Structure 1
């Protein structure tokens, strides 16, 4: 595979983002290539009273929600019932005025698609009232081929006034594996088919030849046709409602409201950034398995540089792309940034990420895992987008911790998605294939002031839901034995991550069922969510097939087991994060364990009474209470004396850890910061920036121990312990899946032994840089 890896940042602006090899990114002069025959409405009232503004802002918000309802009500797909979509209202030139509370990154490619349409297709075949366009090209605007993008221009008085768009997960669009998630695709030619942007509806009339071409790629053409019509209807509904709003209030007034929404979001984001010290934050994560059976790991890095009121985001440190479904395109790189920003720092601005985008410079290097070039396989790697989203979420959490007000809104990342796809036929011969949305039952990350929410679902899908068990059993030949909370599945911390759940499923009236696993990041081998400020990671997810059980004998006796441990079985097979076509036979049971969010702060800072309640509620085991939190229980009550002894032992053991500067020799050069005569400022849950004589330093907020100069990597001044990740509950040795050793590094203050941060890395990697202040 030919790739371009741009190591010279000075050459970055010379990259041609054409949508062919590299992804499409509109050049600064893209508007010059829009056809002069396309009349565009740019008129907006200069004065807009605040009451009218609020009425229109809420009108557009409810319009987007109703757009989502249209998809879920019209479609027969359980995927749409789980709200696996998102929609946007955009300006006439493609800025997202308002998103919706569904999958946050899914439709952030709509500006790319719309600008491509305006730049490349406005002359021929043209953009006219009643048109609707479709695209599933990941190098233009789709997250992957199954996330089909639909966009419709909105005309008022013969001029292009705005756009409406949605993107939704389609059932099956071909490829070598049913359901469209091939884990053994070396390149795009084994993936589901790509559709470049084309006009599917011309002036209100659906093109049957093009619809037939689209349906022809699917194993389930009727279901795809129904989902497609739901998406088309959603855009038509939104366009009509927006036109009606213009008739009621006047087009120039609505335009003024749209512009004010964007301007307000931009200004709010800029003000928040200005309250945070200039710095560069970095995070490293790893993607497992090029293809099923592969035992290698692959490095991805995000760098967020904050200067004044702007952000520069790059992926320097990320591995080059390789064959196999492991990377994602520029649309996803930019989309996860906008999604994270919309949730963390602009939640009060109704996901107006177009305003935030004005303050961000995206500088990913093409030909890397987080900005792959054509013809990389991308459909089966879409869960790595979710993994990257969560790690970037933690970067923004650390940024927000530098300001007391922003810190109140801080949320630690949730876990990766251990997606399970089932495909096969029922006993009547009817073919099916779908992603089990039980994988969305994970717990949320901890907050700076409270625990994460148990089994809350993905934070990047605020309105996520799982179908009722009865609905799943209606659609597919399977039986859900149980869903229940999984103890020790949330990350430990001063505030713990919410717990996830475990699900047991068995075939029922099925002719054949095969399982495809598709876990993101290292969600099966090493860890799920990562904590912040000493909060620990959540454990690994688990796919396990219990083969040859006595489940049917139990049914004959009128029993429904409440735990798979009650079943006898011939053997148990643990599946890898990527696998294709593992049979699930009539007497087999699939056990899926979905984990929780990361922890916040040192677990030893958690009140023992909270741990006693966690144990009583089944969220934390007695063993984990003692090992991770240093809390010893006597029945249901805290043994205060034993707990004091245990916590003293833990801190004493931490005091024996080695200085990080000795373990990881060498450091990047930095300029020593002079004293500023400013008061101490919190830049971390346990770190403050303060003057120390003539220099500015970073010091422990608990014991005042100086850790480093202000512009140095503060982790160099900590003590470090390096162990296997299997010291965490529910985590097995990763070497069952990987050839490379992965380690858990815990860093504590030398003065008071407060656990300040952790990292999970290859054992061969040096200490990772978390933040460097300017």
Structure 2
């Protein structure tokens, strides 16, 4: 395909998925979607290969969505679909790893045949069950499991499914508001793709998809082939809400001739009894992110650029969760997946990696009734620690690396829920020392204005040991989680009194290189 023509069409595709994401954020009910961007939008070809993704989104959602389209279409074959159909699931092993993340997939028809699909995954406010947290003992305690079904069939809502969803969640208006935003954004993407085809005289996007995917794969394999061949190891250790220490061990094998990278998690911790187990798709999402962001972050992220990266893990492993393991707080471990990979890659590309950061964002969910008696359930709101330092730059402070999700502004939360923040500031000096310093964590304090008891789900990590520095850099400071001034480290939902105050100090990032 002519290079100029390809660039024009590629720009059109990026505009389509970015408009899809903007529409989703504008219409969504939940602050975690609208303000924090905890979502993914992608465009797929007729063979369900991800061709383009929106610039807004998180690696855990985007790279899981890349696999989800094929998973959904194995359950409901394309030949059975018709215009107006919309597919849905929150199956953890088919999409993004826990019940709160619902994937919606819309087939795009042109002249009576499917030419592609547009998909989205977002974090919903509530899905029934335990709520955001790690206290469930198996997956069936964690909420409503939606198998692959048609949310709409021929443009008509699936009344039975809608009724089931409405009766199984605490805040149905928020759930259906966000689902409506997903469906509407899919329709926009379908309309825009058809308009692009009209504008450039295309019957479908197969030739365009082949060109983009082939070029992306070739460029990724070329970048891998320029690294030294061999196997390198990396390991990260961190504590989780139950107090247990989790180890993630990776062996990263670079095959220069084939242009492949294989990441093996043999030697990592076994399954956990609490809901921090990670399904393979989510592990793959953050593992591929670590490699892609190190090698060639400027390349499109699609089926082709992901293909040369293989991820394997033993069956009895915390990052290869098997049914019925609880997975609700899978991000607590999943967001640490990049760090042992980056430590292994530091042996071959030290100038491109970052030191360990604070890891998983600290997620908070509040539930209760306001002073008028109206029930409220917040979606999770996130607080990050410091990012690890880079070879030539300090780490960023209070940044959600590696997830990329933003923090919901305190003003938005205080307007939406009966919550009052008592402090929110940087925790100066918590980043590790070094030639380049690690980023600082932050201090957050809050209490409720509901006037009655309320429930708190909080999922901190790294309360015992801070992130490791790299190449002689100092470690970042561990975090602190206190209620009424007393340290807390539990993996269950807590009943709180009206005047209770929560204080969190998130960890700092590791430093890079020895200080002069």
Q: Is the TM value for this pair above 0.5?
A: yes
> Which residue of structure 1 lines up, in the alignment, with residue 36 of structure 2?
82
Q: Does 1:133 align with 2:87?
A: yes
SS state of the match for residue 321, structure 2? coil
Q: Matches of residues 69-218 of structure 1 in structure 2 within 5 Å? A: 69-80=22-33, 81-100=35-54, 101-122=56-77, 126-175=80-129, 177=130, 180-218=131-169
> Which residue of structure 2 lines up, in the alignment, with residue 225 of structure 1?
176
> Which residue of structure 2 lines up, in the alignment, with residue 734 of structure 1?
none
Instruction: Give CA deviations for 1:58-114 in whole Å, capped at 9, x if unaligned.
Output: 222222222221121111211112111111112222222222331112132234332
Q: Is the CA contact 1:136–1:144 (under 8 Å) kept in the aligned structure 2? A: yes
Q: 1:598 aligns with which of 504, 510, 513?
A: 510
Distance in 1 between the 2:118 and 2:200 partners?
19
Q: 2:321 aligns with which of 343, 365, 372?
A: 372
Distance in 1 between the 2:78 and 2:50 partners?
24
SS state of the match for residue 432, structure 2? coil
SS state of the match for residue 438, structure 2? coil
> Which residue of structure 2 lines up, in the alignment, with residue 524 of structure 1?
463
Distance in 1 between the 2:301 and 2:150 partners?
28
Distance in 1 between the 2:407 and 2:67 partners?
30
Q: Does 1:52 align with 2:2?
A: no
Cα 1:324–1:468 change in 2 (3 A) is closer
Q: Does 1:466 align with 2:407?
A: yes
Cα 1:574–1:526 change in 2 (3 A) is same
Q: 2:494 aligns with which of 568, 581, 598?
A: 581
> Cα distance, 1:311 vs. partner?
0.9
Instruction: Give CA deviations for 1:651-687 in whole Å, capped at 9, x if unaligned.
Output: xxxxxxxxxxxxxxxxxxxxxxxxxxxxxxxxxxxxx
Distance in 2 between the 1:158 and 1:598 partners?
55
Task: Give the unaligned 5+ runs of structure 1.
Answer: 1-47, 402-406, 547-571, 606-774
SS state of the match for residue 96, structure 2? coil
> Cα distance, 1:525 vs. partner?
2.3
Q: Is the deviation greater in 500-509 or in 161-170? A: 500-509
Cα 1:253–1:191 change in 2 (3 A) is closer
Cα 1:469–1:298 change in 2 (3 A) is closer
Distance in 2 between the 1:493 and 1:228 partners?
47
Cα 1:582–1:576 change in 2 (3 A) is farther
Distance in 2 between the 1:492 and 1:578 partners?
31
Q: Cα RMSD over matched residues?
A: 2.3
> Which residue of structure 1 lines up, in the alignment, with residue 400 of structure 2?
457
> Which residue of structure 2 lines up, in the alignment, with residue 382 of structure 1?
331
Cα 1:224–1:485 change in 2 (3 A) is same
Q: 1:255 aligns with which of 189, 206, 214?
A: 206
Q: Is the CA contact 2:46–2:206 (under 8 Å) kept in the aligned structure 1? A: no
More contact order relative to length (CA 8 Å, sep ≥ 6) = 2
> Cα distance, 1:182 vs. partner?
3.8
Cα 1:467–1:211 change in 2 (3 A) is same
> Which residue of structure 2 lines up, in the alignment, with residue 540 of structure 1?
478
Q: Is the CA contact 1:545–1:591 (under 8 Å) kept in the aligned structure 2? A: yes
Distance in 2 between the 1:541 and 1:182 partners?
18
Q: Is the CA contact 2:236–2:339 (under 8 Å) kept in the aligned structure 1? A: no
Task: Give the unaligned 5+ runs of structure 2.
Answer: none
Distance in 1 between the 2:497 and 2:475 partners?
31
SS state of the match for residue 285, structure 1? strand
> Cα distance, 1:364 vs. partner?
2.0
Cα 1:457–1:325 change in 2 (3 A) is closer
Q: Is the CA contact 2:362–2:382 (under 8 Å) kept in the aligned structure 1? A: no
Instruction: Give CA deviations for 1:456-478 in whole Å, capped at 9, x if unaligned.
Output: 333431xx332332211101111
Instruction: Give CA deviations for 1:410-448 in whole Å, capped at 9, x if unaligned.
Output: 3334322222222222111122222553513x3332221
Q: Matches of residues 349-748 of structure 1 in structure 2 within 5 Å? A: 349-352=299-302, 354-401=303-350, 407=351, 409-416=352-359, 417-435=361-379, 437-440=381-384, 442-461=385-404, 464-520=405-461, 523-527=462-466, 529-546=467-484, 572-576=485-489, 578-586=491-499, 588-602=500-514, 604-605=515-516
Cα 1:62–1:497 change in 2 (3 A) is farther
Distance in 2 between the 1:455 and 1:56 partners?
37
Cα 1:597–1:246 change in 2 (3 A) is farther
Instruction: Give CA deviations for 1:199-230 in whole Å, capped at 9, x if unaligned.
Output: 11112222232122123221111111111111
Q: Is the CA contact 1:327–1:372 (under 8 Å) kept in the aligned structure 2? A: yes
Distance in 2 between the 1:93 and 1:158 partners?
17
Cα 1:62–1:142 change in 2 (3 A) is same
Cα 1:252–1:75 change in 2 (3 A) is same
Distance in 2 between the 1:267 and 1:374 partners?
36
Distance in 1 between the 2:103 and 2:122 partners?
7
Q: How many residues align?
A: 511
Q: Which has the larger radius of gyration?
A: 1
Distance in 2 between the 1:500 and 1:202 partners?
48
Q: 1:339 aligns with which of 269, 281, 289?
A: 289
> Cα distance, 1:481 vs. partner?
2.2
SS state of the match for residue 472, structure 2? coil
Cα 1:198–1:436 change in 2 (3 A) is closer
> Cα distance, 1:52 vs. partner?
1.9
SS state of the match for residue 330, structure 2? helix
TM-score of the pair, normalised by structure 2: 0.92
Q: Is the CA contact 2:137–2:274 (under 8 Å) kept in the aligned structure 1? A: yes
Distance in 2 between the 1:198 and 1:252 partners?
29
Q: Is the CA contact 2:72–2:94 (under 8 Å) kept in the aligned structure 1? A: no
Instruction: Give CA deviations for 1:697-729 in whole Å, capped at 9, x if unaligned.
Output: xxxxxxxxxxxxxxxxxxxxxxxxxxxxxxxxx
> Which residue of structure 1 lines up, in the alignment, with residue 276 of structure 2?
326
SS state of the match for residue 354, structure 2? coil
TM-score of the pair, normalised by structure 1: 0.63
Distance in 1 between the 2:459 and 2:244 partners?
16
Distance in 1 between the 2:315 and 2:203 partners?
40
Distance in 1 between the 2:345 and 2:49 partners?
23
Distance in 1 between the 2:46 and 2:356 partners?
35
SS state of the match for residue 379, structure 1? coil
Q: 1:66 aligns with which of 19, 27, 30?
A: 19
Distance in 1 between the 2:381 and 2:342 partners?
22
